[in-house]
Structure 1
Amino acid sequence: MAPGFRKDDPRVGIWFKDVAPSNELRRWYSHKPERFDEFASRYEKELQGSEALAELRKLTNRGAVTLVTATRDLEGSQATVLAKLLRRR
């Protein structure tokens, strides 16, 4: 959860913990820019067939969805990869 938010925060409608990258993948990536393309590819593979991703996609069909992240490097973050996947539909 991003700083300033709790799971029960009314500003957070649904917390999709299951769309987060695995701990193993996050540790491997370590926000090293030279690993981002490989990270994005591996993360997309992790999400293939994900029920949580399917549910999140359904929500995007109903209206705007806001992704919240704690990272300062938005371009090199999982949120960027996830947003790209959601726009692809």
Structure 2
Amino acid sequence: MTVKIKRVYEKPDKEDGVRILVDRLWPRGLTKEKVGADLWLKDIAPSTHLRKWFGHDPDKWDEFKKRYFSELQKNKEQVSQLIEQIKKHPVTLLYGAKDEKHNDALVLKSYLKDLYVSNKRE
């Protein structure tokens, strides 16, 4: 499983593999060409309610991760679609947040890693 994360404002790189935008909102000020996303899975992003509640407040980070994990567990269709891409290619998850330590792509990557590890055990 090769999954990287990258801010959408960073230049695309041939090492990125399949570039998947995982934010619910299109990144401000960027065209489709500049984003260079092969796929936009906006419905895999945190719900609007959760996103607004979190507001990128590091003090809410641990609770945000729990709530987003819970949403991902219920979002089997989007998670399956992402896993199918990961099985075929290296994948880079693109996100727009300024905070590189507290964003939904980090949580999503962690969720996928946990899922991958638990599936290998079965």
- For the aligned pair, the TM-score class normalised by the smaller chain equals 0.7 to 0.9
Q: Which residue of 2 aligns with 1:15?
A: 40
Give the % identical residues. 33
CA distance in 1, matches of 2:47, 2:107: 14
Q: Which residue of 1 aligns with 2:66?
A: 41
Q: Which residue of 1 aligns with 2:106?
A: 80
- The structure with higher relative contact order (CA 8 Å, sep 6+) is 2
Output the TM-score relative to the length of structure 2. 0.65
In 2 relative to 1, CA 49–33 (structure 1 residues): closer, same or farther, beyond 3 Å? same
Equivalent of residue 53 in structure 2, options 25, 28, 37:
28
Q: Which runs of 5+ in 2 are unaligned?
A: 1-25, 117-122
Shift of 1:5: 4.1
CA distance in 2, matches of 1:66, 1:81: 14
The structure whose Rg is larger is: 2
Count of aligned pairs between the two proteins:
87
Partners of 1:5 and 1:12 within 8 A in 2: no
CA distance in 2, matches of 1:5, 1:80: 24
Measured on the aligned residues, the alpha-carbon RMSD in Å equals 1.6
Shift of 1:27: 0.9
Partners of 1:20 and 1:78 within 8 A in 2: yes
More strand by share: 2
CA distance in 2, matches of 1:77, 1:27: 13
Equivalent of residue 62 in structure 1, options 58, 64, 88:
88
| CA offsets 1:2-48 (integer angstroms, 9 cap, x no match) | 34243xx4821110011010111011111111100100100010111
